[in-house]
Amino acid sequence: MTEKPATGYSPLQISLHWAIALLVLFQLLFGESMTTVVDAAEEGTSVSATDQFLANSHYWVGLSILALVALRIVVRLWQGAPPAASEGPSWMEVAAKISHWLFYALLVAVPVTGLLAIYVSDSFGDIHALGKPAFIVLIAIHALAALFHQFWIKDGTLRRMLVPSR
């Protein structure tokens, strides 16, 4: 599918961006309850009702992320994305593109390795857990870059992920 020229992000793209960001934040904050429950099942010990609830939530929130990301990738290929909000050094545009596609790769790979950890082999759990530092580093760089563009370069980059313009 070819990318169409876009003037901004659509309401659907913006809703998906922020919904997925919130759900990922939930997974990063409370994911350890899933580890606690998995470890307890192996050792035959019991867990608190809170850990059990958070582990169930981890499963369903994770599957929701996977479904929303599948939709988001289809919408992205169909509606495209606007060109950089301001002209900067070419390495910056390349870095932005790489980080965005890395996000999409992580958003698919992390839930899939979570599913493999439950249904195929425990060893995928270790790979899955690496998603935590990977997401944290990428989100920190991404959020700082967005704030730098909005408030230092003042090119409206953050605004266009808040206000639809198509």
Task: Count the residues in the chain.
Answer: 166
Radius of gyration for the chain, computed over Cα atoms and rounded to the nearest angstrom = 18
- Min dist CB 32 to ligand HEM, Å, is 4
Q: Which of residues 111-140 bind ligand HEM (CB under 6 A)?
A: 111, 114-115, 117-118, 122, 125, 128-129, 131-132, 135, 139
Nearest position to ligand HEM, beta carbon: 125
**CA distance from start to end of the chain:** 20
Contact call for residue 54 and ligand HEM (CB under 6 A) = no
Cα–Cα distances in angstroms (integers) from residue 136 to residues 76, 139, 165, in the given order? 23, 5, 29
- Min dist CB 119 to ligand HEM, Å, is 8
Give CA–CA dist 156/40, Å, rounded. Answer: 48
Q: Strand, coil or helix: what is 114?
A: helix
Figure out which of the listed residues 19, 40, 47, 59 binds ligand HEM, where binding follows CB under 6 A.
Answer: 59
Q: 114: how many CB neighbours lie within 10 A of its CB?
A: 25
Contact residues toward ligand HEM (CB under 6 A) are 17, 20-21, 24, 27-28, 31-32, 34-35, 38, 58-59, 62-63, 65-66, 76, 81, 96, 100, 103-104, 110-111, 114-115, 117-118, 122, 125, 128-129, 131-132, 135, 139, 142-143, 146-147, 157-158, 160-161
